[in-house]
């Protein structure tokens, strides 16, 4: 490799590229530190639940008797499009879980939507507890580790004791759920302060972060590796790849070295005009073009 003008410029260009590759890697590791949890959970059916650890993190709440449904319109209660991670029970880097139901019991309460998209309470058949067709989510009682939890799940989901539940997340018991359960015969019972949410709701931007982690894991380390490679093999740098289209690279570089200090060569801003070439000099590239403006 001829160590002339193009070589020296390419070294400077490569060092500048390597600097930004290193900066991007630092940003990548910072991002990965916060988003790696989504790589583990976003497409997971759930990790085995440690019921003892879960129960050690909950408090027991007593359902108070109520006479009227919770005013969801006044408080603007809707089905959330996503749930924040700060609201979840997490076990290390795990927030989606699977576990076996010790018991399952529907309570005959569900929710549909008002015209303003807020929730309206719906009652099930007193005998069968089956809910109206417009029900979007329903309430059930499940037992985990011997403790009663309220569960939120879609209307058409049917479970029974012994079933394995997947994709479960645990969040603080919504106020409206605990309130409305007080309208039923379950008033007075003790339940965990977490609700088992089986509605498959997205956690923050987990799917976007999952995709970005994959993309950045491919792009940034590859860019760093390419930058390092160009430092030891300059011929792989775009500077040399562009020169190759004019013919033999060594010959073109030799011509540039001969012409660069010729008295006919002149500079204009970031461009160098030699007898046969126009060279654009920037921090990251040294772009060589044929000079068709001058007689050869």
- Based on the fold, state whether residues 128 and 229 are members of the same structural domain: no
How confident is the model over 263-276, as pLDDT tens digits? Answer: 888 888 889 999 88
Domain boundary among 204, 236, 258: 204
- Based on the fold, state whether residues 194 and 80 are members of the same structural domain: yes
> In this predicted structure, what is the pLDDT of residue 294?
53
Other Cβ atoms less than 10 A from the Cβ of 279: the count is 23
245 burial type by CB count under 10 A (0-12 exposed, 13-18 middle, 19+ buried): exposed
Given pLDDT bands bounded at 50, 70 and 90, which one contains residue 296?
very low
Domain boundary among 149, 181, 204: 204
How confident is the model over 12-48, as pLDDT tens digits? Answer: 999 999 999 999 999 999 999 999 999 999 999 999 9
140 burial type by CB count under 10 A (0-12 exposed, 13-18 middle, 19+ buried): buried
Q: How far apart are the first and last CA of the chain?
A: 26
How confident is the model over 218-239, as pLDDT tens digits? Answer: 999 999 999 999 999 999 999 9
Q: Is residue 39 part of a domain?
A: no
How confident is the model over 144-164, as pLDDT tens digits? Answer: 999 999 999 999 998 999 999
Q: Is residue 295 part of a domain?
A: no
- Based on the fold, state whether residues 224 and 168 are members of the same structural domain: no
- Based on the fold, state whether residues 50 and 18 are members of the same structural domain: no
Domain with 119 in it:
45-204
Give buried/exposed letters for 35-73 (b at 16+ CB in 10 A, else e). Answer: bebbbebbebebbebebeebbeebeeeebeeeeebbebe
Q: Is residue 40 part of a domain?
A: no
3-class state of residue 263 by DSSP = coil
- Based on the fold, state whether residues 223 and 90 are members of the same structural domain: no
User: What is the domain count for the chain?
Assistant: 2
Q: What is the pTM of this model?
A: 0.78
């Amino acid at each position: 490799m001829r160590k002339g003008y193009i070589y020296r410029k390419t070294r400077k260009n490569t060092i500048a590229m390597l600097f930004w590759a290193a900066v991007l890697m630092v940003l990548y590791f910072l991002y990965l530190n916060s988003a790696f949890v989504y790589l583990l959970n976003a497409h997971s059916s759930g990790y085995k639940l440690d019921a003892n650890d879960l129960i050690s993190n909950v408090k027991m709440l007593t359902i108070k008797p109520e006479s009227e449904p919770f005013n969801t319109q006044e408080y603007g209660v809707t089905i959330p499009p996503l749930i924040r991670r700060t609201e979840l029970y997490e076990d290390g880097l795990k927030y989606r879980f699977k576990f076996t139901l010790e018991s399952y019991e529907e309570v005959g309460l569900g929710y549909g939507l008002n015209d303003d998209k807020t929730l309206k309470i719906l009652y099930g058949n007193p005998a069968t507890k089956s809910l109206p067709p417009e029900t979007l989510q329903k309430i059930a009682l499940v037992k985990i580790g011997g403790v009663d939890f309220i569960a939120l799940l879609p209307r058409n989901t049917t479970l029974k004791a012994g079933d394995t539940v997947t994709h479960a997340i645990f969040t603080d018991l919504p106020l409206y759920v605990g309130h409305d359960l007080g309208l039923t015969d379950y008033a007075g019972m003790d339940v965990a302060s977490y609700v088992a949410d089986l509605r498959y709701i997205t956690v923050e931007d987990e799917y976007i972060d999952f995709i970005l982690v994959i993309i950045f894991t491919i792009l940034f380390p590859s860019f760093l590796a390419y930058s390092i490679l160009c430092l030891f093999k300059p011929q792989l740098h775009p500077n040399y790849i562009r020169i190759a289209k004019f013919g033999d690279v060594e010959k073109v570089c030799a011509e540039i070295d001969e012409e660069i200090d010729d008295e006919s060569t002149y500079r204009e801003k970031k461009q160098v005009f030699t007898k046969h070439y126009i060279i654009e000099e920037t921090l990251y590239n040294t772009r060589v073009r044929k000079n068709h403006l001058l007689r050869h």
